[in-house]
Structure 1
Amino acid sequence: MGQVNSCMAELLRARSVARLSVVLLLLALLGGCTAGDNGRERVALNDGGVLDLSQLQGRVLVVNYWAIWCAPCRHEIPELNRLAKEDSDKVLVVGVNYDKVSGEQLAQQLEELAIEFATLLRDPAAELGHTATGVLPETLIVAPDGRLQQVLVGPQTLASLRAAVAQAQR
C-alpha cells in the first residue's frame, strides 16, 4: 500500500509540474499582449511603452519593417527618424524588426542603425489585416481611425513618407 501511495504522490507532482509548465509557457507567449479598452490588442514597445491603436489621437501610424542586413533599410532609417521628430504632432512612427530579435540583440541593432523611434516587440500585421510582402523595407501607413491605408514597398524618402501621411489624414 505504501508503494501505491508513493506512486500516486509522484504522479500528482508530475501533473502539477506539467500544468505549471503550460501556464508559464502561456504567460511567456502572451507577455507582450494586453487587452485594450475597446477589446483590440495593445502591443509592447522596446522602450517599455505600449501601442494602442485606439489612442492615436488623430495621428497617422507609420509602421516600418527593417532588418540589420537590409541595405535599403539603412538608407531609409534617417528619413523615418526625421519624420518621427519633425512631424510628431501628425505621425507616430514605430518599427518592427523583420528577424524578430529582442532583448540585448535588438538594443544593439537599434543602436547600430541609430533608430530613434520605438520598436514593437510583436508584429501588428494581423491586427491591421496585412500580410507581409517579404520585401524590405516595407512601411504600413495607418489612418488615425486605425484602418490600414497604404503599404509602401522599398525605401522611402521624407517627401514620400509625408505624402503618404497627408493622404491618410484625408
Structure 2
Amino acid sequence: MVKRFQSGIRIMMVLIAGALLAGCGDDVGVDQHGQKVAVERLEGQWLVINYWAEWCGPCRSEIPELNALAPELEKQSVGVFGVNFDGLQGEELSKSAKALGIEFTVLAKDPAERYGLPPSDALPVTYIVDDHGKVRERLLGEQNAEGLKARLAALRQEG
C-alpha cells in the first residue's frame, strides 16, 4: 500500500514537473536590453512586427514613427515589436537598437516561425498579426503612424 502511494506521488511529481517545463518551452526570448519577454506580451492581442536593419535608410526614417505609435497602440491592446533583419544578438543588438533610437521592444528571437511570417528580401517590412496569431497584412516599405493606425482600424473592423 505504501509503495503504491509513493509510486503515485512520483507520477504526480513527474507530471507537475513536465507541465512546468512545457511552460518554459513557450519562451519568446529576450529584448534588446537582455530582459525576458513574457509570452503574454504577444498572445491575445494584435501585433505590429517591424523588421529593420541599421544599414536600411527607410528603416531609420520609420523608427521615430513606430516609437511614437507604440505607447498609443498599447492602450488599444496592440503591441509594437521590432526584429533585427540581420539576426543580431546580445550586445550587438543592443548597440544597433540604441544607435537607431528604438524605444519599442526589439525581440532577439525572430517570431517568424511562431506566426508563419513570410520571408522578405526587402526592408523595411512590417507585419500585422491579429489577436488569434494570424498574419493579416504584410506591408513592404516605409510606414508612418497614421497609415498603420488606419490599416489596423480597417483590419480590426473586418474582424
When the two structures are superposed, what TM-score results if normalisation uses the length of structure 2? 0.75
Following superposition, the deviation at residue 164 of structure 1 comes to: 2.1
Supply the distance in 1 between the matched residues of 2:64 and 2:74 (Cα, whole angstroms).
15
2:147 is aligned to: 160
Following superposition, the deviation at residue 36 of structure 1 comes to: 4.8
Supply the distance in 2 between the matched residues of 1:123 and 1:146 (Cα, whole angstroms).
15
Supply the distance in 2 between the matched residues of 1:35 and 1:124 (Cα, whole angstroms).
18
Supply the distance in 1 between the matched residues of 2:120 and 2:156 (Cα, whole angstroms).
24
Measured against aligned partners, the alpha-carbon deviations of 1:108-153 in whole angstroms (never above 9, x if no partner) come to 1111100001111111112211221211000010111211111110
Alignment pair present for 1:126 and 2:113:
yes
1:44 to 29, 36, 58: 29
Following superposition, the deviation at residue 49 of structure 1 comes to: 2.8
2:60 is aligned to: 74
Structure 1 spans left out of the alignment, 5+ residues: 1-33
Alignment pair present for 1:106 and 2:120:
no
Decide which structure has the larger Cα Rg and report it.
1
1:89 is aligned to: 75
Q: Contact 1:42–1:53 (CA<8 Å) still a contact in 2?
A: no
Following superposition, the deviation at residue 168 of structure 1 comes to: 3.1
Supply the distance in 2 between the matched residues of 1:74 and 1:141 (Cα, whole angstroms).
20
Counting matched residue pairs gives: 134
2:6 is aligned to: none
1:55 to 1:119, Cα distance in 2 relative to 1, 3 A:
closer
Following superposition, the deviation at residue 54 of structure 1 comes to: 8.2
- Sequence identity percentage: 41
Structure 2 spans left out of the alignment, 5+ residues: 1-20
Alignment pair present for 1:64 and 2:50:
yes
Q: Identify the structure with the greater strand proportion.
A: 1
Supply the distance in 2 between the matched residues of 1:120 and 1:98 (Cα, whole angstroms).
11
Supply the distance in 1 between the matched residues of 2:40 and 2:135 (Cα, whole angstroms).
11
Counterpart code for 1:155: E
Counterpart code for 1:68: E
Question: RMSD over aligned Cα, in angstroms?
Answer: 2.2
Counterpart code for 2:83: V
Counterpart code for 1:112: A
Q: Contact 1:35–1:42 (CA<8 Å) still a contact in 2?
A: no
Supply the distance in 2 between the matched residues of 1:131 and 1:119 (Cα, whole angstroms).
19
